[in-house]
Structure 1
């Protein structure tokens, strides 16, 4: 049984209990149960993000993950998996997508709750930017979490969460791409971000009920790309999904594949 240590920052007791029940429910369903999970619940996204930044400074770490676009965070800087979540996420995304976001973070706590998953070093001969490498590490870990949640039957909430993220960013992606594609560095970061989208949703395409809807959203997400680049990204995530490797080895292989299939196509 997992021990859940909760800290609440100005959150209504009833809302806190509902979120804790969501965490407990998923932990009961998985085979591997981490012995300890820290669950920090915030009232607002701004307070959660401020806390995340302060923790980054406290532990002397630097990531590209503390983005204004993130609705929750996970880490293991305390030595055990930790989830940071804001009640405001439910209000902004809606309950289905908001709980989907929380379950996604719980999946990371289960699969990536040790320090080794947060101090991943880029291969010395890698030709991509550190920012791009970071996004690829996130993509691989998201793919693994989505595989877990798909096996446990959490599909509709994950699709709702995915759609909320994709549609939020879609207009800006389309507007910026004509400029970004002329800059090699910006282009690789942009394409890595799209790879992350595809990795997140890929396992759920196995669902006959939601396959058509997923394909529609994916096509919209990639609609600003050329046919060749789009095909390369789709082929890449399919190849990565077939890898039978441990997480860190999978990240290294995915990096190599990204360089070969995507990076060289935009040089």
Structure 2
């Protein structure tokens, strides 16, 4: 592990460093950089072109454009969620630590969506990668580390499906794949009852996709 502190006191950072060391040992992850910082602005400055509006919602974040790198914010209050997030992001570092997992060409079928295609591809990609991380943690006997994140996933924001159409419907369909795919290796198809309002066809497709998932993203 390579450590970099961004305007953070080493003493303040020590508990998180110890937590990351414990988690990385349990997962046998050695080759990654840990960046500790505080606040949204610091994270935005560090990520530069990799910044997205979703990034500010994360306690920890994995980016592999320059090798496996995990960013952890120290300005968080929920220690359980932070611990769960660290295990999750270490899973990404182990499985998706190369830039090739993030520079994905748009498949021809998605090109039909026009300007919406990159956004939909992003949502699909993170759903697949989250599935692989949860599957890894479950296989390693570490599913319990994800319970705080799982509780977050099991309380999705209500979606007015009957009112959606066009681009709004496409984005809504793509966006719920992340919590579903994250949860499937942890609790199986029980996850679908938490998304009972979603179109049945989408739920069936997601179930089938998870069964066909191989070992290579």
Question: Normalising TM by the smaller chain, what interval?
Answer: 0.7 to 0.9
Match of 2:209 in 1: 240
Gaps in structure 2 of 5+ consecutive residues: none
Match of 2:168 in 1: 186
**Equivalent residue of 2:122, what SS?**
helix
CA distance in 1, matches of 2:46, 2:91: 21
Match of 1:219 in 2: 193
2:100 is aligned with 1:116: yes
* One of 124, 149, 161 as aligned partner of 1:161: 149
Query: How far does residue 119 in structure 1 lie from its aligned partner after superposition?
Result: 0.6
5 Å-filtered alignment, 1:97-176, equals: 97-126=81-110, 127-128=112-113, 129-164=117-152, 167=155, 170=157, 173-174=158-159
Task: Verify the 8 A CA contact 2:59 2:81 in the aligned structure 1.
Answer: no
Match of 1:205 in 2: 187
CA distance in 2, matches of 1:26, 1:68: 23
5 Å-filtered alignment, 1:65-84, equals: 66-78=54-66, 80-84=67-71
CA distance in 2, matches of 1:70, 1:190: 20
**Equivalent residue of 2:70, what SS?**
strand
Task: Verify the 8 A CA contact 1:76 1:114 in the aligned structure 2.
Answer: yes
CA distance in 1, matches of 2:43, 2:154: 22
Distance 1:7 1:233, change over 3 A: same
TM-score by length of 1: 0.69
Gaps in structure 1 of 5+ consecutive residues: 249-267
Task: Verify the 8 A CA contact 2:84 2:148 in the aligned structure 1.
Answer: yes
Distance 1:49 1:156, change over 3 A: farther
TM-score by length of 2: 0.84
Query: How far does residue 244 in structure 1 lie from its aligned partner after superposition?
Result: 4.6
RMSD: 2.6
Distance 1:64 1:218, change over 3 A: farther
Q: How many residues align?
A: 213
**Equivalent residue of 2:109, what SS?**
coil
2:5 is aligned with 1:8: yes
Task: Verify the 8 A CA contact 1:141 1:247 in the aligned structure 2.
Answer: no
